[in-house]
Structure 1
Amino acid sequence: MGKTFWAIISVVVLVVLAAGGGGGYLLLQKRDDDAAARAAADFAHAWQTGGLSTIGYAGGDAATVAKEVQAETAGVTSSAQDRPSAVSAGEITRHGKTATAPLDVTWTLNGGRTWRYTSTVTLQKTGSGWLTAWSPATTHPDLTTGATLSASTTDADRGRILGKGGQVLVAERPVVVVGIQPSRADDLTATAQQVASIVDVNAGDLVKRVKAAKKDAFVQVITLRESAYQAVRDELQPIPGTVFQERTLALAPSADFARALLGSVGPATDEIIKASKGRVQAGQYTGLYGVQRQFDEQLSGTPGLTVTLKPQSGAAKTLYTAKPTAGKDLELTLDAATQKAAEKALTKAKKPAALVAMDTATGAVLAVANGGPNASGYNRALLGQYPPGSTFKVVSGMALLDSGVTPDTPIKCPPSVTVNGKKFSNAEGEVLGTVAFRSDFAHSCNTAFVGSAGKVSTDELAKAARELGYGAKNQMGVQTYTGSVPTSDQPTEHAASMIGQGPVLASPATVAGVSAAIASGTWHAPHLVASTEPSTKDLPASDVKAMRSMMRQVVTGGTATVMRNTPGGAVYGKTGTAEFGSDNPPKTHAWFTGWQGRVAFAVIVEDGGFGAETAAPIAKAFLSDLAG
């Protein structure tokens, strides 16, 4: 073969080698690009999952980078460790031994708002491979050294609490927040003590708080309604260091109006903030207890939100803004006039007391009042668990009627009856002899009911109790105790149950529901939230008719004659005196329950003695005020 042939072969070989070398180069470059892309993806994943301290950095310590990123973003959410809810890296761009990739960053902010932006991650090729060359701009493109991101909220307009027929019960009303600014006080201790004595707060606690506060802090003392503030304004304003903030707050018509039920609104407590799982932030106003807290998410709406970049020096920059969304109104069945009448009547109580009123035709609750000396803060009207005493004779009376007893059936009323060694007596040793059942009921003869315990079984008594709402599923819409139904076959306990003692317990709401059921002939589940669709149960018509006549006789000639001539029409009722505790003689709660027209009610006075003497006059004052 000639030289020409070998020359051609040499050229071909060179061409092939050159082609092969270029392919290898391209392959190596792709592998390098892939490695850089993986490094960008690793950083994105690490940031999203809280693992920034687990990856490598070019010219930076992993722990330091993680700490600085956390410092930059600590104010963005309420989480213990702030991090985006999603981070993804885009396509890389090579610049020799450096590369960049866009980062699509998504934060889920408090209230469920979403904030998205794009930053850039820079990568650097080192002997250990591609590593993140982190800078503050990686976190956000506008961030510089020492700058931070923080989110702040703006309260939304709070929804109103409405009552029957759309009455406005709770709405935004003007208040004045009284505070102390330490830097303005000449003598912190003297200022705190003076203010505390005027607005009736603990002076020692206030002194401690103002001394521990920063000089220019606003140390909140108390929030006063505008009218209450005006009454002490001239005393407070001259005191050095006192400062005042005007705002509006969701308030009822008066400080005591359904206070224990409705609750209040104020700065969120640590407990509420923690329980809200990020929905409620420090400094935000929220429901503190009662209906305001239970329905806070509905009433408070969604706060406005602003994310701000704060540099080490210079003006802050707003990066994200969302307007607040107003809360939604909550409609209750409360009637303002009935509630006010109930609360006014309870001012006569010398001990803690409660009154519940409801519409006999629907079970809608018209009033939930708690009163007596320093007793309006606990919702005993719905939550109290008391022996119902002789008010339970409406239940056991219905069971006896269902067993065949009639209002005219002769039943003995001796001074005492002994069951298995347990002696049951009548109040003040009353003896009626053998009289018609209607008279036993009207005069609340304990021994007649205890002596009749054998006429009804435990199951029959429990059935009558359940049909009248004892132990029913709570359909009030708010926390309520619906009572316990007697279940014991033990003769002594069964006998005690017949007169509302022993294992039987009830709240005032339960007892009022019984009277409402007798008045209408149908038990309607008591309910307070207007959107509730309560269940109902019809009662035996003949038994209801008989019970109505007997409850009327209680007023016309029995234990509740104090209710005769009550303005507004005929009153039907039942007194109750319920023993409790271990004293000898035992203390007693005073009860009265019944109805007038379409308003059924129950009144209890704790440790109040006899129902006829203590609870019935309160009921009369309540009905008289309504009629007036």
Structure 2
Amino acid sequence: MQAPRTTHDRTPRRPDRRRAGTLAAAALGLTTVLSGCDQVADTVGGPDPAPVVEDLAAALSAGDVTTVAWVGDSGEEVQALLDAVVGGLGDVTPVVTAGEVVEDGTDATATLTWSWPLVEPAPAAEGAEGAESGSEDPQPWTYDSEVGLVQRDDAWLVAWEPRLVEPTLGEDEVLDATPVAPARGDLVGAGGQVLVTDRPVTRFGVDRSQFRDAAQALPAARALARLVGVDVAPYAARVEAAGEEAFVEAITYRQLEVPKRVGRDYRSITGALAVADSLPLAPTREFAAPILGTVGPVTAEMVEQDPAVYAPGDEAGLSGLQARYDAQLRGTPGVVVNATPADSGAMVRNRGERELFRLDEVDGTDLRLSLDRDLQSSAEGLLADVGPGSAIVALRPSTGAVLAAASGSGSDGLNLATFGQAAPGSTFKIVSSLALLRSGLTPASTVPCTTSVLVDGRRFTNYSDYPAGATGEVPLRTAVANSCNTAFISQRDRLGDTDLADAAATLGLGVDHDLGFPAYFGSIEPPTTETGAAADLIGQGTVLASPLTMASVVGTVAAGELTLPWLLDDVRATPSGDVDPLSAQEAGALRGMLRAVVTEGSGSALADVPGPPVIAKTGTAEFERDGRVLTHAWMVAAQGDLAVAVYVDEGQSGSVTAGPLLEGFLRAAR
């Protein structure tokens, strides 16, 4: 048990034996009569050692003992000895407090309580309330030691010895801390499928220890950079600036993806090394990469911004979910403190290491996702040969679980699947149809599908190959099935200022939610012109959406109630109370019109897809880029408990460009 703390300003100090004897004699009434000039002897003790011990504890806590008065040594000499003893603990500052002081004449001993925070507390994991951060705050290494003091010339001096720092240390021993890395948590998908876990890799780099100086290492750095295809000058600069014992990585390959030429030719470069290792990786390089993110060596900026968490050489999440939930995934490192020989000379007396303290590591906590490994792979396979940016998102209407969120290879690494922002074109007519139903129309209501319509001087037309047989006065059902622009625009006067936005909110578009990952729910700004209001009705104008949003829209129609997507098991959004719910009658009418898209309209290619009936909507949205008018190609569909949105940034039309991708996905999902 720790001795109670005794300080000179709060607790009466313990009297020394000389002073105690004097007080006892006085109590008994004893006096001594002296002759001549003899006087009464003064036996009161000297200065109090407690303040000196307090100052010593403060100096040790600050790591600077140069101002402490030591026995036989200067402050600078003891500072060097102290640094040698504690240097192996790293850049950590102890908290040292003074305890009981016991005097014995001109000698005294005092207790010091040491507390070393060898492992920083892990920051709380970002995400849902109650999400685990990987561990509780780690306990510091706490113990008592004893320090000796000597009184000389009415002053107390401190005696240096290693056991002042740790009570079992010998004269030839120092402290050494070895971190113990925790296992990083996996990313786990639907059905417990492991999506991201440690997989074997090979790191290629230059070993600086093979060279006498940095200049000698530069030819190897340049040769290796050229071999593996990284920028030569920056890599050579990193090698030149690295420490003498550093391994400077140039590139990391999955173990089975090392190019044969690299695996063969690196051996001819003096100082080049291939190091086997492991990294948290998905099944393939492309697998949900923009969403899942990567793990790698921390950057200088990360260390600078959060030095209590990251140190050079650490690995952490660098992007995506790996970065956002790094605290949860990485866990808390452990540490082992040993007493080790100060050197390897004769003074060691053949002693090895002695373990003084161990704090077990706490492995990271898995991050559980809704992604289905097979469906995600199918989506990425379908998009592999699509040149422009593209995306496929699939979710379960019954639960909102996101099963696939793939961004194609032409997306330049961007997360188009859940965070892309583009005009949804005629897929938005699902929303417009709901607004018109609420205005009093029914699927059987007649609307004029003309070849063109003029709005405030701007002419709107249907797409180029619109079927001639579907023009004229047609039921709203037919206008939806064949995606007649003019029919919808002709009904603009039936809608109030917020009717379209209200219908969009009912179907999950335009109302933001925090899903724990980047998700864009779309927007529809109030139009400022007649032509803007007309364009909004056909999914252009001010309307924007992501593939995730449009999958939610068609999923809501399929489910008959709002489908809010979720990807992380611990993060679920709740519907806003300000949004009108979808009625059963509205849902039934929308499903019937979207079924007509497949049976008699622009989505007829899906008619023979095996399984339950498919409902769908195609969409094409014009936009301008670099002075050219191009088109986004969209298609959404639902079949059974599966809702899908397909987007291609530049395409011919929804049915021609996006349609085959959606059909391929539905067939693969059976």
TM-score by length of structure 1 reads 0.84
Residue 155 of structure 1 pairs with residue 185 of structure 2:
no
**Runs of at least 5 residues in structure 2 that lack an aligned partner in the other structure:** 1-25, 121-137, 345-351
Q: Taking structure 1 as reference, are residues 51 and 207 closer, same or farther at Cα in structure 2, changes over 3 Å only? A: closer
Residue 394 of structure 1 pairs with residue 403 of structure 2:
no
Please report how far the alpha carbon of residue 233 of structure 1 lies from its aligned counterpart in structure 2 after TM superposition: 2.9
Task: Return the letter of the residue paired with 1:119.
Answer: S
Alignment match of 1:362 (pick from 375, 396, 399): 399
Work out whether residues 205 and 224 of structure 2, in 8 Å CA contact, stay in contact via their aligned partners in 1.
no
1:216, 1:51 → 2: CA distance? 28
SS of the counterpart of 1:457? coil
Residue 480 of structure 1 pairs with residue 519 of structure 2:
yes
Work out whether residues 185 and 240 of structure 1, in 8 Å CA contact, stay in contact via their aligned partners in 2.
no
Please report how far the alpha carbon of residue 615 of structure 1 lies from its aligned counterpart in structure 2 after TM superposition: 1.8
Question: More displaced, 501-510 or 428-437?
Answer: 428-437
2:484, 2:175 → 1: CA distance? 75
Work out whether residues 155 and 285 of structure 1, in 8 Å CA contact, stay in contact via their aligned partners in 2.
no
1:286, 1:69 → 2: CA distance? 33
Aligned to 1:498: 537
Aligned to 1:4: none
Please report how far the alpha carbon of residue 118 of structure 1 lies from its aligned counterpart in structure 2 after TM superposition: 2.4
Work out whether residues 475 and 526 of structure 1, in 8 Å CA contact, stay in contact via their aligned partners in 2.
no
Alignment match of 1:221 (pick from 242, 246, 250): 250
Aligned to 1:587: 630
Please report how far the alpha carbon of residue 347 of structure 1 lies from its aligned counterpart in structure 2 after TM superposition: 1.3
Question: More displaced, 505-514 or 195-204?
Answer: 195-204
Aligned to 1:600: 643
Question: More displaced, 493-502 or 260-269?
Answer: 493-502
1:580, 1:286 → 2: CA distance? 40
Aligned to 2:418: 382
Question: More displaced, 589-598 or 575-584?
Answer: 575-584
1:271, 1:230 → 2: CA distance? 32
| Richer in helix (by share) | 1
2:447, 2:300 → 1: CA distance? 61
User: Aligned Cα RMSD in Å?
Assistant: 3.8
TM-score by length of structure 2 reads 0.79
Task: Return the letter of the residue paired with 2:47.
Answer: D
1:467, 1:61 → 2: CA distance? 79
Aligned to 1:3: none
Task: Return the letter of the residue paired with 2:249.
Answer: Q
Q: Residue deviations 1:154-195, cap 9 Å, x none? A: 221222222111122222222222222245589855644554
2:152, 2:458 → 1: CA distance? 93
Alignment match of 1:412 (pick from 444, 448, 451): 448
Residue 465 of structure 1 pairs with residue 478 of structure 2:
no
Question: More displaced, 121-130 or 381-390?
Answer: 121-130
**Runs of at least 5 residues in structure 1 that lack an aligned partner in the other structure:** 1-11
Please report how far the alpha carbon of residue 102 of structure 1 lies from its aligned counterpart in structure 2 after TM superposition: 1.4
1:538, 1:108 → 2: CA distance? 54
Please report how far the alpha carbon of residue 280 of structure 1 lies from its aligned counterpart in structure 2 after TM superposition: 3.7
Task: Return the letter of the residue paired with 2:496.
Answer: S
SS of the counterpart of 1:574? strand
1:340, 1:408 → 2: CA distance? 41
SS of the counterpart of 1:601? strand
2:173, 2:553 → 1: CA distance? 66
Work out whether residues 152 and 307 of structure 1, in 8 Å CA contact, stay in contact via their aligned partners in 2.
yes
1:180, 1:61 → 2: CA distance? 45
Please report how far the alpha carbon of residue 473 of structure 1 lies from its aligned counterpart in structure 2 after TM superposition: 4.3
Work out whether residues 486 and 494 of structure 1, in 8 Å CA contact, stay in contact via their aligned partners in 2.
no
Work out whether residues 52 and 65 of structure 1, in 8 Å CA contact, stay in contact via their aligned partners in 2.
no
Residue 289 of structure 1 pairs with residue 319 of structure 2:
yes
Kindly, what percent of the aligned residue pairs are identical? 37
Task: Return the letter of the residue paired with 2:608.
Answer: N
Work out whether residues 185 and 191 of structure 1, in 8 Å CA contact, stay in contact via their aligned partners in 2.
no
1:199-598 residue pairs with structure 2 within 5 A?
199-214=228-243, 216-229=245-258, 231=260, 232-274=262-304, 278-308=308-338, 313-314=343-344, 318-373=355-410, 375=412, 377-421=413-457, 423-428=459-464, 432-474=471-513, 476-488=515-527, 491-535=530-574, 539-568=582-611, 570-581=613-624, 584-598=627-641
Work out whether residues 63 and 93 of structure 2, in 8 Å CA contact, stay in contact via their aligned partners in 1.
no
Q: Taking structure 1 as reference, are residues 44 and 474 closer, same or farther at Cα in structure 2, changes over 3 Å only? A: same
Task: Return the letter of the residue paired with 2:183.
Answer: D
Work out whether residues 458 and 489 of structure 1, in 8 Å CA contact, stay in contact via their aligned partners in 2.
no
Please report how far the alpha carbon of residue 51 of structure 1 lies from its aligned counterpart in structure 2 after TM superposition: 8.7
Q: Taking structure 1 as reference, are residues 58 and 625 closer, same or farther at Cα in structure 2, changes over 3 Å only? A: same
Q: Taking structure 1 as reference, are residues 25 and 101 closer, same or farther at Cα in structure 2, changes over 3 Å only? A: farther
1:277, 1:574 → 2: CA distance? 52
The number of equivalent residue pairs is: 605
1:354, 1:22 → 2: CA distance? 103
Q: Taking structure 1 as reference, are residues 626 and 237 closer, same or farther at Cα in structure 2, changes over 3 Å only? A: farther
1:23, 1:511 → 2: CA distance? 102
1:611, 1:404 → 2: CA distance? 29
